Structure 1
Amino acid sequence: MKAPRLGIIGLAVGVIGGMAFITGGCANEQEKRGHELYTHYCSDCHGESGKQNEGFNWSAMPDPKPKDLSNKSEMSTFKDEELFATISRDMLDTSEEGGDTIGDDDFAVPTMPTFKYTLSEDELWSIVGYVRTLHGAKMEFNVAARKTSLEEGLKTAQAKFEQAKQAYEAAEKKASDEAERKSEQLKKDVDVDESAYAAEQAAMGQAKKEMDVTQVALNNFSTRAGKGLSIPRPDLTAKPADVAKLVDRGKQLYENKYGCNGCHNVGGEGGKIGPALDRAGFRLNATWVYRWLKNPQAMDAHTRMPALGLNDADAKAVTMYVATLRAPKSEPVAEKPVEKP
């Protein structure tokens, strides 16, 4: 009887070991993907190992400089969700009608871009997981459970919409039948009383919005938000009296909201990941700049520049500012002849 028992124990150990291998394999795959994404998008500023002044762009960046991601005592004070929120934050509303003031302290890390509009949620979590390894920790957030929650949320929203739709259709039919009955009685056409099903129609509309939101959230978990999104030709005209104001606003957005100067250099100030923009007004077509700002990945799938979620007004203002960057062409410095001894 001992042999079968040992066989069962061996089978159990094998199954457990196999499960551990699968789990470890998934974790390793996520870490590998996180490493690749971190290297492509983050290492130029944060450094390959996350240490300050290690990335080649670190010293050129305006303040605030990137954090030391290898500092366990500091990084362990942040929850996984906080790290995720930092790299995928929403851009604040800076519209002139009731928006926040550009440059307020509420603007978190203006020199660091958001990657919410560039990477999928799953990819963002893989970066968080890799960042944890830079200070000898592990990510505790359950990414698989997050996806399951999104899937279940969509099912719930779909069921709610179907229920609201049925209620609306029933109320609309009842009102239509009532109008038809009155028409027969009065021997003349009677309009359907739309107010009789207005509440059901509003409820259906709200349920549809909620379903769409959950669908987008689930889509963005695995798919990059800007994938396949084309940008129509913009209207970059402006009244002469408004040009100066738009250019000034574009400069503020460039420096204090979207953190363009963290990667681009103008007049010797700013980062050096992207090309210097001193003469961008000569070199770049305004329509191209606008489309690039709105969705750079649509124009170059491998670019390191993230999509920053610019609305049309902000993209227009930044485009107009970039068009003013027309520094004179620098003259090459003549080399001094070497004197022969």
Structure 2
Amino acid sequence: MKVEQGMHRVLGKVVIVVVAVFAVTSGCALFEDERTAKGRKLYRHYCMHCHGESGQQQEGFNWERMPDPRPRDLSESEAMSTFSDEEIFNTISRDMRDTTLQEVLDDENYFAVSTMPTFKYTLSEEELWAVVGYVRTLHGGSLTFDVEGRKAELESQFKAAETAHDQAKQTMDEALAKQEAEEAARAEAEEEAEDDDEDMDMEDDEDTDLEDDEEEEIVLPEEEAYEKVAEQFEAAKAVWENFSKRPRMTQIARPDLTVAETEKVTLQENGKSLYFNKYGCNGCHSIGDVGGLVGPALDRAGFRLNDTWVYRWVRYPQGMKKHTRMPNLGLDDGDARAVTAYLDTLRAPKPDKPIPPPE
């Protein structure tokens, strides 16, 4: 009896150890904290189709279809440990740049792979750190960056900027009130002087001077100082709010996409370059047998898609479909127009059989 109880205790300990080791090495959700759990959910939604569920190469259904360089193995601890948390964060939150430019390729601090999208304009900073934290678990690591310290720092900067803003506004308001009082007193004095002055020529001169003074707009130093402080306050406010809230854009208005015939070809060629070399659309979308399977095939985009819809979609996907997998890549008006023009050229013949959806 005692032997059996002893065996049960030993087996119980072994099971606990095995489960713990498995949880650490495989990214199991059993012992995840709240941030890591959030990162897991985001990773599954945005990253798993290319990087795989456990971060291993060839595991994601889209991996084989992606152009070189294909996604790295996130489960390889030796390689991944060479990257700091900040470097991983910067990779997934960078601005997209044209990877054909030598200055971009020479920038050692920039991840020049266009098919790795940015999530800077899609996720909050807190969510981005959650993704980094979860990626760390895929190779047996953990997040060491002080996220709470970062949050406290941003809050402190925001409050300091808010205090400076309020003080500058009060100073400006007082200066404007003083200026208004002085102008009123001066106008009253001039009016009294005019009543006492019987020389019409002098009155005419004074009237002219007064009119000149009224036309001249005086900007107080306090107003200029307030404008600078207000700009700094808005910047600090945006960073603080974006820490916990996802970036939001106003709804994109319907654009006028009319293009002169002499400019159309140039715009389309520019759009093609942006499609492949800056925004890496081919990582998720296919044209013919080339390209990813995450998004719809674009062979017949020129037939199927309305130009206005395309423009608004690439500018702000979440404004068109809230939970889409496609991140907001930060296209400005010019780039969106060019990409839209290029997609309009894709007019492949209708296939004999429907293209099957990705498995």
Same fold (TM over 0.5): yes
Change (3 A) 1:26 1:242: farther
State whether structure 2 residue 222 is matched by structure 1 residue 200. yes
For 2:312 and 2:277, locate their aligned partners in 1 and report how far apart those are by CA, in whole Å: 21
State whether structure 2 residue 242 is matched by structure 1 residue 220. yes
- Where does residue 165 of structure 1 map in the other structure? 169
Bigger radius of gyration among the two: 2
Give the aligned residue type for 2:342.
Answer: Y
Q: Is the 8 A contact 2:161 2:233 kept in 1?
A: yes
Q: Is the 8 A contact 1:175 1:196 kept in 2?
A: no
Which of 74, 90, 97 is matched with 2:95 structurally? 90
List runs of 5+ in structure 1 lacking aligned partners.
1-24, 95-99, 334-341
Give the aligned residue type for 1:82.
Answer: E
Q: Is the 8 A contact 2:318 2:328 kept in 1?
A: yes
- Where does residue 310 of structure 2 map in the other structure? 289
Change (3 A) 1:214 1:307: same
Q: Give how far 1:128 is off.
A: 0.3
Give the aligned residue type for 1:223.
Answer: K
Change (3 A) 1:277 1:196: closer
State whether structure 2 residue 252 is matched by structure 1 residue 231. yes
For 1:232 and 1:26, locate their aligned partners in 2 and report how far apart those are by CA, in whole Å: 46
Q: Is the 8 A contact 1:69 1:134 kept in 2?
A: yes
- Where does residue 63 of structure 1 map in the other structure? 68
Question: Bigger CA drift: 163-172 or 123-132?
Answer: 163-172
For 1:193 and 1:176, locate their aligned partners in 2 and report how far apart those are by CA, in whole Å: 14
Give the aligned residue type for 2:325.
Answer: R
Q: Give how far 1:331 is off.
A: 2.9
- Where does residue 7 of structure 1 map in the other structure? none
State whether structure 2 residue 195 is matched by structure 1 residue 191. no
Q: Give how far 1:171 is off.
A: 2.2
Q: Is the 8 A contact 1:102 1:257 kept in 2?
A: no
Give the aligned residue type for 1:157.
Answer: A
- Where does residue 259 of structure 1 map in the other structure? 280
Q: Is the 8 A contact 1:121 1:222 kept in 2?
A: yes
For 1:226 and 1:234, locate their aligned partners in 2 and report how far apart those are by CA, in whole Å: 19
Q: Is the 8 A contact 2:96 2:117 kept in 1?
A: no
Bigger helix share: 2
For 2:176 and 2:325, locate their aligned partners in 1 and report how far apart those are by CA, in whole Å: 53
- Matches of residues 1-341 of structure 1 in structure 2 within 5 Å? 28-92=33-97, 101=101, 104-105=104-105, 106=107, 108-187=112-191, 191=214, 194-195=217-218, 197=220, 199-226=221-248, 229-332=250-353
Q: Give how far 1:172 is off.
A: 2.1
Q: Give how far 1:178 is off.
A: 2.5
- Residues 153-185 of structure 1, C-alpha deviations (whole Å, 9 max, x = no match): 111001111111122222222322332232222
Q: Is the 8 A contact 1:179 1:191 kept in 2?
A: no
For 1:125 and 1:53, locate their aligned partners in 2 and report how far apart those are by CA, in whole Å: 25
Give the aligned residue type for 2:294.
Answer: I
Give the alignment's Cα RMSD to 1 decimal.
2.4
Question: Bigger CA drift: 244-253 or 263-272?
Answer: 263-272
Q: Is the 8 A contact 1:179 1:192 kept in 2?
A: no
**Stretches (4+) displaced over 6 A:** none
Give the aligned residue type for 1:201.
Answer: E
Change (3 A) 1:178 1:259: same
Q: What number of residue pairs does the alignment pair up? A: 302
- Residues 23-78 of structure 1, C-alpha deviations (whole Å, 9 max, x = no match): xx996111111111101110111111111222111111112211111111111111
For 1:60 and 1:299, locate their aligned partners in 2 and report how far apart those are by CA, in whole Å: 27
SS of 2:248 mapped into structure 1: coil
Give the aligned residue type for 1:235.
Answer: D
Give the aligned residue type for 2:288.
Answer: G
